[in-house]
C-alpha cells in the first residue's frame, strides 16, 4: 500500500533527563568521594597502584555510557513511533479493507469474501457484536462481492450496530473452511498503543494497521 502525503515538519522537544541518567550523576559524586577517601587513607608504605584507579574509573565510565546509551535508544524509539503516527494520520477519512467487524448504519454493506476453489457450497454467517449468530444464508461459493442489506428473512431490518461476517465453505457435507470476510470501513482516528498503530474505524471498531490489506479514497 503506497500512500504519498506532503512532508510535515513536527517540532520535537528534547527529552528530559531520565531517572537513570540523574542517578548516574549522583552515583558519580559518591564514587569520587570514595575514590578520594581511598587515596587519602591508603597505606603510604604500600600505595594503591595507579592502574587500579584507572581501572575503577574505566569500569564506572563503561556503566555510565551503557545507561546513557539505553536512554538515547528509548528516546529515538519514541520519536520514531511518534513520526510514524504523524504519517499514519493521513489515513483519517480514507477507507481501509480488513477482516475487522463492520458498522452497519442501515445502508447495505459490501462484503469481499475470499474464494475457496475446493468448495461446492458456501454460507454467509452474520454475528452481532456479542458474537451471537443472527443470520445464515446460502451464497455462491465463487462470489467475489456480496451486498448485505441487513434485512432478516421476514423483511425487518437489523438494528444499527457492529456485525462480524464469516464464510463457511463446504465440500459435500464437510466444512472445509471458516473464513472471516473483508469489508471497507472509514478511518476516524489513529492511535499509538505501545509499538502498534491502531486505526479506529466507523462505529468505534479498532484494527491494527498491519491487518489492513488495501486502501482507497472514501466514497462519500
In a structure prediction context, what are the per-residue pLDDT tens digits for the chain, which is 220 residues long? 444 444 444 444 445 555 555 555 566 676 667 767 666 666 666 666 666 656 766 665 665 665 665 664 455 445 545 556 777 778 899 999 999 999 999 999 999 999 889 999 999 999 999 999 999 999 999 999 999 999 998 999 999 999 999 999 999 999 999 999 999 999 999 998 888 889 999 999 999 999 999 999 987 6
Cα 210 from chain centroid? 7
Q: How far, in Å, CA of 18 to CA of 67, rounded?
A: 10
* DSSP-assigned letter for residue 90: G
C-alpha cell at 72: 538515547
Q: How far, in Å, CA of 137 to CA of 123, rounded?
A: 5
pLDDT on residue 156: 94
Nearest CA to 60 among 94, 14, 114, 23? Answer: 23
Residues 169 and 175 sit within 8 Å (Cβ to Cβ): yes
153 dihedral zone (left: phi>0; alpha: psi -120 to 50; beta): alpha
- pTM for this model (two decimals): 0.62
Name residue, grid cell 466514497.
219
Residues 3 and 216 sit within 8 Å (Cβ to Cβ): no
49 dihedral zone (left: phi>0; alpha: psi -120 to 50; beta): beta
Residues 165 and 102 sit within 8 Å (Cβ to Cβ): yes
C-alpha cell at 88: 499514519
* Phi, psi (rounded to 5 degrees) for 91: -80, -20
Q: Partners of 124 in the beta sheet?
A: 137, 167
Amino acid at each position: 500500500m503506497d500512500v504519498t502525503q506532503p512532508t510535515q515538519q513536527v517540532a520535537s522537544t528534547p527529552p528530559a533527563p531520565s531517572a537513570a541518567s540523574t542517578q548516574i550523576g549522583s552515583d558519580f559524586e559518591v564514587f569520587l568521594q570514595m575514590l578520594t577517601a581511598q587515596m587519602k587513607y591508603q597505606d603510604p608504605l604500600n600505595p594503591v597502584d595507579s592502574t587500579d584507579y584507572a581501572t575503577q574509573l574505566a569500569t564506572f565510565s563503561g556503566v555510565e555510557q551503557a545507561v546513557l546509551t539505553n536512554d538515547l535508544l528509548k528516546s529515538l524509539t519514541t520519536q520514531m513511533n511518534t513520526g510514524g503516527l504523524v504519517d499514519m494520520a493521513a489515513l483519517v477519512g480514507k477507507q481501509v479493507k480488513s477482516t475487522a467487524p463492520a458498522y452497519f448504519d442501515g445502508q447495505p454493506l459490501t462484503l469481499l469474501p475470499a474464494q475457496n476453489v475446493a468448495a461446492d457450497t458456501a454460507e454467509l454467517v452474520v454475528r452481532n457484536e456479542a458474537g451471537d449468530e443472527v443470520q445464515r444464508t446460502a451464497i455462491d461459493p465463487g462470489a467475489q462481492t456480496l451486498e448485505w442489506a441487513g434485512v432478516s428473512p421476514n423483511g425487518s431490518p437489523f438494528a444499527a450496530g457492529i456485525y462480524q461476517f464469516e464464510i463457511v465453505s463446504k465440500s459435500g457435507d464437510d466444512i472445509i473452511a471458516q473464513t472471516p470476510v473483508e469489508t471497507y470501513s472509514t478511518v476516524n482516528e489513529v492511535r499509538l498503543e505501545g509499538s502498534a498503530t491502531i486505526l479506529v474505524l466507523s462505529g468505534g471498531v479498532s484494527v491494527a494497521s498491519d491487518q489492513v490489506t488495501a486502501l482507497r479514497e472514501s466514497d462519500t
